[in-house]
Amino acid sequence: MFSKSKKADVDKEETTDYKDEYTRISKSTLVQEARTIFNEAKIKPKKCIEVLNKIIYLLNQGEKFTDNEKTNLFFGVTKLFLHDDSTLRRLIYVFIKELRANEDEVFIATSCLSKDMMGENDMYKANALRVLTKIVDKSSLLSIEKQIKTSMVDRSTHVKSSSLVCSIHLLSKYPEMIKKMVGDIQNNLLSGNKELQYHALLLLHEIRKVDPMAILKILSQLTSSQSALPSKLAKVQLIRYIKEILLHANLDARTKGGFIEYLNECLSRNPEMVSFEAAKSLVELSEKMNIDIDQAFKSILDSLCSGENVLKYAALKVMNRLANTNPKEVSLASTELEPLINDQNTSIASMAISTLLKVCTEVYVQKLLAQISHYLPELGDDFKIEVIHSVYLLFLRVPKKSTEQINFLLKCLTGEGTETYKESIVETLMKIGIEGTTADKEQVLLTLCEFIEDCEFRHLQTHIFDFIAKECPNTSNPSVYIRFIYNRVVLEKSIIRAAAVSALGTIGHKIESLRSQIVILLKNCLKDENDEVRERALFYTDLLDYPEENEECHEASSFVFDSLTFDVDKMEQFLLENKDSLIADEDNEEIFNFSTFCTEEQDSVMTRNVQKEAEEKKDTYSTPEQHTKQEEAIEDDSYGIDFSSPPGFELEQSICTRLGIEAPEFSTTTKDITSPSDEYYVQLTGHFHCKKLILQFNVQNNIEEHKLKDITVHLENPKAGYTTVDQISSEESQYPTIVLISEDPSRVFITETFKFKLKFTVIEVDEDGNEEGDYEDEYSLDKVSIAVSDYIGKQALANGQFMNAWEMIKQNEACAERLETFQISFKTLKEAVAGVIDFFGMSVCEGSDKVDETSKSHNLFLAGTFFGMYPVLVRGQIGFNSQYGCVLRVGVRSMNDNAIQTVLECIQ
């Protein structure tokens, strides 16, 4: 024992001395010492090694040397090439790579390194070649080209390998030089030498990647036999290249079949890393191709049952990905996955939990959550939060087992944990309460009410108060929750008591039947010892306790509790710009007019302006009874939604008369078909009437020497089921128009992609504007897609009005609602939100397009109109995790069933 302790003390002293020696290095002293030692008549390797170590240490620490110091050091080091000490030579190579030499110094270094490359020592050859590629420039390119080519056919495997690695580094700078060596690279690849094949395959693929046919030929040659590539690394890389070409290249069935067969052969009689890579590739290919992955899945299961943690974790990641697309297949491995929940490696345990939550069926939800609850306390906070988020994704997939999930979260909430962990549980419970049924909401509210009894985190308590105040009016017995809030007024600290008073005031405003009781409770708070609590209690008492006939008090109460009906940003900007005038003018009513900032009034006027048009329109997609209810619903302007069509080209009355219609039922916004900088800038507006699609084109000529006349639109790729019933030229209308009609009686809306071309007469004009001649010409346009979203118009709601509109639509007899869950393919939460907004083509409300990229989920609110007539509101919940994929849970409300179906088709 004593000897060990003594040895440890000695080691510690040596380490300390080493650290002190290097931390006390003076650059100027070191440069002077190097000059003396490197220029001695007889080179002393031990002293030179010591000085070089210190110089390299300073270079790695970011120490800057002057140009003069660099030159002195460089020329001193080149003299050391005269000594044959292997350790010293290796340090010389490191020094040359680390020191950024100038052109003159590079020339000298290249000469010294070239001598090593022409010597007999293979180690010197290989290392000199690696250093040479780091410092080479165009001036010495020709000399190094010959040396690399010679090294590639050297008798030493180590030298060949160095030449291949150097070629990989030089390929991006001097591709033409490396491409000349393709023959030698291919010979090394097919040589059967394990040490050369991996780098040769990498280099050959980089050279040939711009030529798909050449890549295909190489891959076909290497997959002709399992023995073609004995190198494990090369075979793994080959499998990755095969997967890449199968996913992105357009191959014939025979070639695809050959590659798939090769991957299946790699699953057996190969090293573990090769078998696993083949299985992983087959699983990823199954997402895009219809292939059998039974053998691949069996191979992954074998890896899962291996004793190595790395293989276990890698297999779990593949199964986790497979669970997104084929949960039934992964559920067969539940027996192998369940024991991994208790694995000592937390990464493996958390990944197993994540995978099981993805594939768990309703029958096993309770059992799985019970298993997780025993193991959860042993995990770190990051893993715990990941599990909590997985439970929320499970709720989105299996909402019928929400009771078990809420009970599991309650157990987690009452256990020990940090503030961040508890906050994630509370947020998850709130999401379930919002997205779930009324029973789920009530269970969540009671769970949170119990939690605040013992909660030690102030901001969580205030957050819960706010949630209860917003959601309890939507429950069957809201009075239950008042007791829990009032208990906090009696027992808690002042900041919590103040938040509880605010929550009581909000509930009193929303629930008229409880208002008198809440006013009594608020009056009891007027004797509180804290000023903030007393002032809030007085404030809310005055707002709630007023006679019903008092309009002024009612308006004040609505102003405080309801969302603002004016543009705050606009008002702030006005006040900043006119503050001097407002201060100088005592009677400033003429300057400041509050009505100019109101948004609600404007929305109401816009709604009333289109009521007559909405009443005159006939709903061709609903029954007479539904139509009557919908007309009654539209008469109510309390939704704050403008039902008018979005702006576009107005359909001229002459065209309407020609087509035998009074007006189109709906018009889209204007789309750009070509760029404004193109020779012809073309815009398109679509009009719909029954089964007719009327497309109007605005053509702007950007060529000054030309004039266009008699422009007509023609269908370049006639589609089956569609007929062109009319074509209107630019001489007959302001906009060239084409009219299509659907022949399919079952097709309610036209959704198709068309290819159009313009035909016109070009008149050539000279500089004075005189016409010199004309000729016929035509111009093909890009494809035009008529999508479901074209029938949906955008409609912005005032900030804070979305939930009011959502609840108002629900109260109408004609209200229809659907809840759907979709799995969508996006890599990040930000991309998913942008994609969903694009899918629906509706206006974003409440600023819900702004995404917190640190969050695991996001709420999205959208508003629009269907066919310019029916309001459509969408509430979306997007959950995302890099392991679980992206899930969209969406609720749609409207006064027309077909409107809801059409909106959901945007996602489908």
Residue 9 is predicted with a pLDDT of 47
Q: To 5 degrees, how large is the angle CA 84–CA 85–CA 90? A: 105
Q: Which domain covers residue 591, as residue numbers?
A: 566-595
Question: Does one domain contain both 730 and 591?
Answer: no
CB proximity list for 418: less than 8 A, separation 6 or greater: 381
DSSP letter at 245 equals H
Residue 462 in any domain: the answer is no
Beta-ladder partners of 786: 752
Kindly report the backbone phi and psi dihedral angles of residue 524, in degrees, each rounded to the nearest multiple of 5, phi listed first.
-65, -25
Question: Does one domain contain both 507 and 582?
Answer: no
DSSP letter at 649 equals P
Question: Does one domain contain both 408 and 552?
Answer: no
Residue 10 in any domain: the answer is no
Which of 408, 427, 456 delimits the end of a domain? 456
DSSP run (H or E) holding 820: strand 816-824
Question: Does one domain contain both 65 and 189?
Answer: yes
Distance of CA 336 to CAs 301, 323, 343, 350, 810, Å?
8, 15, 12, 15, 47
Helix (H, G, I), strand (E, B) or coil at 569: helix
Q: To 5 degrees, how large is the angle CA 35–CA 38–CA 44? A: 140
CATH code of residue 227:
1.25.10.10
CATH code of residue 757:
2.60.40.1480
The torsion angle over the Cα atoms of residues 551, 553, 558 and 559, rounded to 10 degrees, is 110
Contact (CB, 8 A) for 130 and 162: yes
Residue 562 is predicted with a pLDDT of 60
Residue 258 in any domain: the answer is no
CB proximity list for 642: less than 8 A, separation 6 or greater: 603, 606, 607, 610, 795, 865
Residue 6 in any domain: the answer is no
Kindly report the backbone phi and psi dihedral angles of residue 252, in degrees, each rounded to the nearest multiple of 5, phi listed first.
-80, 165
Question: Does one domain contain both 51 and 83?
Answer: yes
Distance CA 739, CA 743 (A): 13
Residue 8 in any domain: the answer is no
Distance of CA 157 to CAs 154, 161, 188, 232, 288, Å?
7, 6, 10, 17, 41
CATH code of residue 834:
3.30.310.10
Helix (H, G, I), strand (E, B) or coil at 529: coil
Residue 719 is predicted with a pLDDT of 67
Kindly report the backbone phi and psi dihedral angles of residue 453, in degrees, each rounded to the nearest multiple of 5, phi listed first.
-65, -35
Residue 555 is predicted with a pLDDT of 63
Which of 763, 786, 809 delimits the end of a domain? 786
How many distinct structural domains can be found in the chain? 8
Q: Which tens digit of pLDDT belongs to each residue from 534-585?
A: 888 888 888 787 656 556 666 666 666 665 556 667 777 777 877 777 766 6
Rg (CA), the chain: 38
Question: Does one domain contain both 66 and 151?
Answer: yes
Task: Count the Cβ atoms, other than its own, within 10 Å of residue 450.
Answer: 14
Contact (CB, 8 A) for 330 and 359: yes
Structure token pair of residue 884: 């679980």
Residue 11 in any domain: the answer is no
Beta-ladder partners of 708: 762
Residue 647 is predicted with a pLDDT of 46
Which amino acid belongs to residue 838? D
Nearest to 255, CA basis, from 208, 211, 220, 210? 220
Contact (CB, 8 A) for 509 and 557: yes
Structure token pair of residue 705: 């020497």
Question: Does one domain contain both 516 and 617?
Answer: no
Residue 15 in any domain: the answer is no
Q: Treating both helix axes as pointing N-terminal to C-terminal, what angle do 194-208 and 212-222 enclose, rounded to 10 degrees?
A: 160
Nearest to 750, CA basis, from 782, 717, 790, 712? 790
Contact (CB, 8 A) for 56 and 95: yes
Question: Does one domain contain both 190 and 65?
Answer: yes
Structure token pair of residue 771: 């016409």
Distance CA 769, CA 899 (A): 53
Distance CA 112, CA 129 (A): 11
Question: Does one domain contain both 184 and 48?
Answer: yes
Question: Does one domain contain both 312 and 434?
Answer: no
In the predicted model, residues of the chain with pLDDT beneath 50 are: 1-10, 12-13, 15-18, 600-647
Question: Does one domain contain both 617 and 711?
Answer: no
Residue 647 in any domain: the answer is no
Distance of CA 195 to CAs 120, 190, 198, 675, Å?
21, 12, 7, 54
Question: Does one domain contain both 58 and 190?
Answer: yes
Which of 405, 422, 456 delimits the end of a domain? 456
